[in-house]
A and B are shown apart, each in its own frame.
Chain A
Amino acid sequence: MREVSDTIACEGCDAVYQRAPLQPRDVARCPRCGSELERHAGNQRRRILPLTVASLIMFAIANLFPIVEIELQGLRSQTTLAGAVLALMAEGMSVVALLVLATTLLFPLLQLCILVWLLVPLARDRQAPGFAWLVRAMQSLRPWGMIEVFLLGVLVAIVKLSSMATVVAGPALYAFMALTVLLTSVLSFDPRGFWELVFQRQEGA
């Protein structure tokens, strides 16, 4: 078994290319099928840890405070994300509750925790325990975190209710907006970049 260096294989069509050096912000695409081959990480490597920590803070606010509050005939009702999940559970919709819990709470939180776990030791030139397994988990989790879809869902729900009751946005709604922006930046980091980080350090040492 021998590593063929400076070679990229296209995930989309199996084509093989010579690796070309990328400038900051460059994206290399396969000319025949259009799949992304490689992307220059730019300054992201230095920004990703602070952005992850900021995301975790926003995540806490987004889940601890109510998202929206409605007022109807003097009666008030409000909910958090966990509240919505519990309400679904109480109605016997545990499968849907689990799906919502996983895609909006568990998976995004897991992604952020794994990032911190991997990045903190890496800043001190160490490889976190379970490195290979966790980088793989990051890649598998990627399509399943759906905070941005949830945010759109909240906005649709607000409009739906506004004809029937007075709707007041809670602090968590703004936190979800900030979280969506932060997560878009954090999760655009290709988990494959972790291997590059590790191997660059080993070669430099």
Chain B
Amino acid sequence: MNMHGPQHPHDHPEDAPVPTVASLGLLACHHCGTVWAQAEEGDACGRCGTHLQRRKPDSLNRTWALLVAACLMYIPANLLPVMITRTLFGTQNDTILSGVIYFWVSGAYGLAAIVFVASFLVPLFKLTALMLLLITAQRRTDWRRPERARLYHIIEIIGRWSMLDVFVVSLLTGLVQIQGFAVITAGVGIAAFGAVVVLTMLASISFDPRLTWDDKPVAPAGDNEVEKKKTATA
């Protein structure tokens, strides 16, 4: 695929210098995608009326604040019980991980894996990955930019799936209300866990992925052809 014309010597498309919105002195509407020339930051987009911004406002500070809050909530989310089961045989407090262990011991290995990934690994991965993106963006390093871009895409896609345990606990709480035999109630841990999910989602929304690329050398205006890829889905 010849994307940038025959004249440039780079082997990888990621390495090719390309013109950017900032380098051409343009502004793109983050809402409807229209590109404007001779516009100032703060002007209303001529098509949809959104205020034009070069970057998401105060991105690094906001993302850090949300991320630190998420890290703090991650501790009670894993230590406090998320679910309390009262049966004739006694009371059982379940944390996120003890729920996984319960599935594993009872032989439901697939389910144990799903819950372990969605409830434990995904939040941990999101916290670490966002921290990595923030630190590298702050240091303006040119270290592995394409991989960092991919990392951001992954965070955006998987974030929502951590809500799994919140839904499981809610449903069990609503369902298992057989007074005298078995009653399931939600533990405080699930509130902390929900907070982790919401905070990390807000953090990844407030992070501006363009910060990853901001110090890369840019090319003059050219005629870049957009790469086209066939996909199976519409």
Binding site for B on A (CB under 8 A): 1-4, 7-9, 11-20, 22-35, 37-38, 40, 42-44, 67-68, 70, 72-73, 75, 77-80, 83-88, 91, 93, 95-97, 99-100, 103-104, 132, 135-136, 139, 143-144, 146, 149-150, 152-154, 156-157, 159-161, 163-165, 188, 192, 195, 199
A100 with B20: CB separation less than 8 A: no
The 25 sampled A-B contact pairs (Cβ below 8 Å) are A1-B46, A2-B36, A9-B28, A11-B210, A13-B209, A15-B20, A15-B21, A15-B213, A17-B226, A18-B224, A18-B226, A28-B226, A32-B145, A42-B234, A79-B175, A84-B170, A84-B171, A96-B191, A99-B166, A99-B198, A132-B50, A149-B167, A157-B175, A165-B176, A195-B32
Say how far A11's CB is from chain B's closest CB, in angstroms. Answer: 7
Residues from chain A with a CB closer than 8 A to the CB of B108 are 159
B interface: dominant SS: mixed
- Whether the Cβ atoms of B43 and A1 lie closer than 8 Å is yes
In the complex, given contacts A15-B213, A72-B182, what are 4 additional A-B residue pairs having Cβ atoms less than 8 angstroms apart? Answer: A11-B210, A153-B165, A156-B111, A156-B114
Instruction: Please indicate the chain A residues that have their CB under 8 angstroms from the CB of B31 in the complex.
Output: 135-136, 139, 192
Cβ B194 vs Cβ A95 within 8 A: yes
| Smallest CB separation, A20 vs chain B (Å) | 4
B76: CB under 8 A from chain A?
Answer: no
A9 touching B186 by the CB < 8 A rule? no
Choose one: B13, B33, B39, B152; the contact of A8 (CB below 8 Å).
B33
- CB within 8 A of A161: which of B149, B161, B172, B224? B172
Whole-angstrom CA separation of A117 from B156 in the bound complex: 28
The 6 A-B pairs at the shortest CB distance, nearest first, are namely: A84-B174, A153-B167, A9-B28, A33-B149, A79-B174, A31-B13
- Contact A1–B36 (Cβ < 8 Å): yes
